């Protein structure tokens, strides 16, 4: 069973341009995400998928310098970029990660891979209310191709897996029950604004290593309300 991780990445951001190459701890945001994805059990390859726009040359150059596999495709049709990237590696299953979630939970992701191995399905549904920024999405390559064929609306092309949730009856899903110590939806452990950056920077400074357990990050935020409140007022942009 071949499993790859595709990390969506681009320099453009309406609220915090260039955010994924900002420093984080002793490295940068993109390094955090890649290092955490690389320790997911059962993963064969981690690839960064960016756009063909000139502004994303910085990401391609970064990947070349860091010896990280990467792919360049459509800027607006993210679903097509994702599919064309996956085709190069011919996987059985794909894990989707976004580069603005540097604290992606590799421990839960490892359990999700194991679950999919035991009961191969189209997609994994996470049962639990997590902080924004920790979850991964895992789906079969075949399901990804089906989404690509059937998802025609702008929301389907921009948000890679959206069609599978909107038309759930068309897909075989398996459910992963998130651990109780991850269920803290009041926290944002993601990067979309300066306030988000202030929070994750405080977390990175405290823990030093990018491979700290997400459970420890949540516990830290529970114990440090002055840090947790830094981005508590930020609202997530809606899917259109």
% helix / strand / coil in the chain, to the nearest 5? 45, 20, 35
What is the C-alpha separation between 166 and 150, in angstroms, rounded? 12
- Residue 236 belongs to a domain: no
Q: Per-residue pLDDT for 240 more than 80?
A: no
pLDDT tens track for 137-156: 999 999 999 999 999 999 99
C-alpha to C-alpha distances, 47 to 50, 102, 135, 209, 229, nearest whole angstrom: 10, 15, 18, 22, 33
What average pLDDT does the structure give for the chain? 95
Q: What is the pLDDT of residues 125-137, one digit of tens each?
A: 999 999 999 999 9
**Would 53 be classed as within a structural domain?**
yes
At 12 the pLDDT is: 84
Domain-located, residue 142: yes
pLDDT digits (tens, 9 = 90+) for 44-86: 999 999 999 999 999 999 999 999 999 999 999 999 999 999 9
Residue 237 lies in a domain: no
The C-alpha angle 50, 98, 116, rounded to 5 degrees, equals: 115
Number of domains in the chain: 1
* Per-residue exposure over 140-159, b if at least 16 CB sit within 10 Å of its own CB, e if not: bbebbebbbeebeeeebbeb
Note the pLDDT of residue 109: 98
Asked if residue 239 is part of any domain, the answer here is: no
Q: What is the CATH number of the domain that holds 152?
A: 3.90.550.10
Closest by CA to 133, choosing from 180, 227, 200, 201, is: 200
DSSP letters for 143-205? HHHHHHHH--SHHHHHSTTHHHHHTGGGS-EEEEE--GGG--TT-B-S-SSHHHHHHHHHHHH
Three-class secondary structure of residue 132 per DSSP: strand
What is the rounded CA–CA span in Å between residue 174 and residue 126? Answer: 9
Residue 16, classified by CB atoms within 10 Å of its CB into exposed (0-12), middle (13-18) or buried (19+), is middle
Kindly state whether residue 178 falls inside one of the protein's structural domains: yes
Q: Please check whether residue 240 lies inside any domain of the structure.
A: no
Q: Which helix (H) or strand (E) holds 142?
A: helix 141-150
Q: Are 42 and 133 in contact (CB under 8 A)?
A: no
- Which domain, by its residues, includes 214? 3-231
Strand duo 45-51 + 3-8: pairing: parallel
Q: Has this prediction a pTM greater than 0.85? A: yes
d(CA 85, CA 148): 13
Q: What is the pLDDT of residue 82?
A: 97
The answer to the question of residue 238 being in a domain is: no
In whole angstroms, give the CA distance from residue 3 to residue 43. Answer: 5
- Per-residue CA distances from 85 to 52, 69, 79 (Å): 13, 10, 10
String of b and e for 36-53 (b: at least 16 CB within 10 Å)?
bbeebebbeebbbbbbee
């Amino acid at each position: 069973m071949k499993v790859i991780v595709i990390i969506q990445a681009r320099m453009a951001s309406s609220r915090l341009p260039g955010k994924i190459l900002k420093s984080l701890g002793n490295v940068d945001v993109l390094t955090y995400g890649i290092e955490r994805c690389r320790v997911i059990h059962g993963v064969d390859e981690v690839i960064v998928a960016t756009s063909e726009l000139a502004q994303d040359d910085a990401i391609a150059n970064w990947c070349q310098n860091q010896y990280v596999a990467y792919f360049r495709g459509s800027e607006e049709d993210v679903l097509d970029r994702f599919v064309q990237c996956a085709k190069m590696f011919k996987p059985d299953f794909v894990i989707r990660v976004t580069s603005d979630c540097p604290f992606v939970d590799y421990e839960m992701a490892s359990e999700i891979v194991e679950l999919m191995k035991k009961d191969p399905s189209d997609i994994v549904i996470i049962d639990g209310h997590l902080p924004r920024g920790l979850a991964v999405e895992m789906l079969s390559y075949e399901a990804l191709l089906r989404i690509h064929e059937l998802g025609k609306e702008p929301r389907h092309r921009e948000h890679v897996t959206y069609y599978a949730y909107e038309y759930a009856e068309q897909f075989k899903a398996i459910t992963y029950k998130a651990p109780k110590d991850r269920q803290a939806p009041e926290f944002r452990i993601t990067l979309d604004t300066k306030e988000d950056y202030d929070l994750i920077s405080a977390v990175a400074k405290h823990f030093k290593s990018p491979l700290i357990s997400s459970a420890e990050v949540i516990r830290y935020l529970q114990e440090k309300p002055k840090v947790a409140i830094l981005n508590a007022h930020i609202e997530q942009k809606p899917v259109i």
